[in-house]
Amino acid sequence: MMKLYSSTTSPFVRKVLVVAHEAGCLDAIEPLAGKASPIQADMAIVATNPLGQVPTAIVDDGQALFDSRVICEYLDAQQGTGLFPAGAGRWPALTLQSLADGILDAALLARYEQVTRPETLRWEPWLEGQMGKISRALAQLELQVPAFAVQLHIGTISLACALGYLDFRFSEFAWREGHPRLADWYQTFSARPSMAQTVPQG
Amino acid sequence: MMKLYSSTTSPFVRKVLVVAHEAGCLDAIEPLAGKASPIQADMAIVATNPLGQVPTAIVDDGQALFDSRVICEYLDAQQGTGLFPAGAGRWPALTLQSLADGILDAALLARYEQVTRPETLRWEPWLEGQMGKISRALAQLELQVPAFAVQLHIGTISLACALGYLDFRFSEFAWREGHPRLADWYQTFSARPSMAQTVPQG
């Protein structure tokens, strides 16, 4: 069993759950409710992970594992499912994960700026800087889709979770506009049971 | 050869350079000057990495690799140096890297708040939230030192780069106070040529 500090809205938790689903070990995960916040740390989580972030995992021997990249790779290695490819295919898959995680980091910072920070202390250039990263990433991904379209690995899983988060929290951003190939790819990918059963709630 | 968008102050670039040094392939890296900023993107970098971050690598076949975790693992795999351990030792090493990177992410956000953002728009609870992550991480690491003290791997390299960054940008934070074992460990580790030759400049 793996205990997993989780929230139903975290896109990084979703990555772990999608990997667990695809690797056939979802039943071996026991979720623990966690409340990650950049302002108010969750004291239960920080006892294990001083960063206070979800997802944080605790495996059978009591060892803590984080962040999402580490937990995902651990589950994949335990199950031998090859979602973290070996050989030459590893580097584009890991770089795609990094790009998707970068979209999510930017989106979370944008959300903290727009929602968490008091209105009088918001700084437009910061928000624009974060949203600019997302826009440029989408533009590059639109060109890359043919290269990864039919692949299932940690890169495509991360990308799908990132796009799902844009739908969940930034629907007015309308990411599909101008990115028809990416939208098509996501429509197919998000129909996978692992994605359909982990749609964010909140 | 690997081209590497770099800056002399980035702790994430330092991770890559320390790994390259320890893996014996520093000569195969051609640095390209990059100016990563959360507000003003570097147009040369974003052509390769839409996130506009350093380090971003370009390898022989033109493939882009990022972020620092991916580039470090790539160099280690090319050289076969085992800085990313296989087997059971992999997960604590990767989790230590994640904790060290989390210290750095928090430190960079704190610096953007204190230096980049206009003074009238700063929000103390945000700054305290970031510095709280760093303080809690140091307290946990002080207890963990015996477990990793003599090891050289991506976790200890990342931690040393994180502590070096606190010295560089947060000297008034005086991280050694209350953390004597961590301070001793760092004193030994930072004497390695790979660390001594990559001290941040700026």
What is the ipTM metric for this complex? 0.97
According to the model, what pLDDT value does residue B17 have? 98
Of A50, A79, A108, which marks where a domain is finished? A79
Cβ–Cβ contacts within 10 Å for residue A33, how many? Answer: 12
pLDDT at A60 over 90: no
Q: How many domains does chain B have?
A: 2
Residue B166 belongs to a domain with what CATH number?
1.20.1050.10
Same domain, B180 and B106: yes
Which of A52, A95, A118 lies at the smallest CB-CB distance from B123? A118
B172 and B95 share a domain? yes
As a whole number of angstroms, the distance between CA B188 and CA A12 comes to 36
Do residues A38 and A63 both lie within one domain?
yes
Q: Do B142 and B167 share a domain, yes or no? A: yes
Cβ <8 Å between B99 and A66: yes
Residues A63 and A107 occupy one common structural domain? no
Instruction: Note down pLDDT in tens along chain B; length 202 residues.
Output: 999 999 999 999 999 999 999 999 999 999 999 988 888 999 999 999 999 999 999 998 899 999 999 999 999 999 999 999 999 999 999 999 999 999 999 999 999 999 999 999 999 999 999 999 999 999 999 999 999 989 999 999 999 999 999 999 999 999 999 999 999 999 999 999 999 999 998 7
Of A89, A71, A91, A96, nearest in space to A20 by CA: A71
A119 lies in a domain?
A: yes
| Per-residue pLDDT, B201 | 85
> What Rg value do the Cα atoms of chain B yield, rounded?
17
Residue B119: CA atoms inside 13 Å, Cβ hemisphere, count?
0
* Three-state DSSP class for residue A43: helix
Compute the 3-state secondary structure of chain A and give helix, strand, coil in percent, each to the nearest 5. 60, 5, 30
A-chain residues within 8 Å CB-CB of B90?
A: 77
- B202 falls within a domain: no
φ, ψ for residue A179, nearest 5 deg: -135, 60
For position A35, what pLDDT does the model report? 86
Q: Which of B79, B96, B129 is the last residue of a domain?
A: B79
- Is residue B200 in a domain? no
In chain B, the residue whose alpha carbon lies closest to the alpha carbon of A66 is B95
Give residues 45 to 64 of A whose Cβ lies within 8 Å of B.
46, 49-53, 59, 63-64
Q: What is the Cα Rg of chain A in Å?
A: 17
Percent of chain A with pLDDT over 70: 100
- pLDDT number for residue A36: 81
Instruction: Flag whether residue B78 sits within 8 Å of chain A, measured between CB atoms.
Output: no
CA angle A117, A13, B51 (to 5 degrees): 60
Burial of A31 (0-12, 13-18, 19+ CB in 10 A): middle
Residue A118 lies in a domain: yes
Q: What is the pLDDT of residues A66-101, one digit of tens each?
A: 999 999 999 999 999 999 999 999 999 999 999 999
Considering chain A, what is the average pLDDT of its residues?
Answer: 96
Query: Which of A94, A97, A154, A182 should one mutate to test binding to chain B, selecting the residue with the greatest count of B CBs within 10 A?
Result: A94
Residues B93 and B184 reside in one and the same domain: yes
CA distances from A101 to A67, A146, A157, B97 (A): 11, 20, 11, 16
Task: Tell me if A65 and B95 make a contact (CB, 8 A cut-off).
Answer: yes
Q: Nearest chain B Cα to A77, which residue?
A: B87
Instruction: Examine the domain organization and report whether B160 and B98 are in the same domain.
Output: yes
B106 contacts in chain A (CB < 8 Å): 51
Who among B38, B59, B91 is closest to A126 (CB)?
B38
Contacts of B51 in chain A (CB under 8 A): 99, 102, 106, 133, 136-137
Contact (Cβ atoms closer than 8 angstroms) between residue A122 and residue A183:
no
DSSP B157-169: HHHHHHHHHHHHH
Is residue B53 within 8 A of residue A103, CB to CB? The reply is no
- Phi first, then psi: give them for residue B63, nearest 5 degrees: -65, 135
Burial class (CB in 10 A: 0-12, 13-18, 19+), B16: buried
Q: How far is CA A173 from CA A132, B49, B77, B87, in A?
A: 12, 21, 39, 43
Residue A198 in domain? no
CATH no. for residue A75? 3.40.30.10
Q: Which residues of A touch B57 (CB under 8 A)?
A: none
Same domain? B69 vs B96:
no
B118 contacts on A by Cβ (under 8 Å) = 123
Residues A138 and A57 in one domain: no
Same domain, A152 and A185: yes
Q: How confident is the model at residue A201 (pLDDT cuts 50, 70, 90)?
A: confident
Residues spanned by the domain of B180: 87-192
From B79, B102, B122, the end of a domain falls on: B79
> How far A98 CA lies from chain B's nearest CA (Å)?
6
Among B95, B132, B139, select the one facing A41 at the smallest CB separation.
Answer: B132
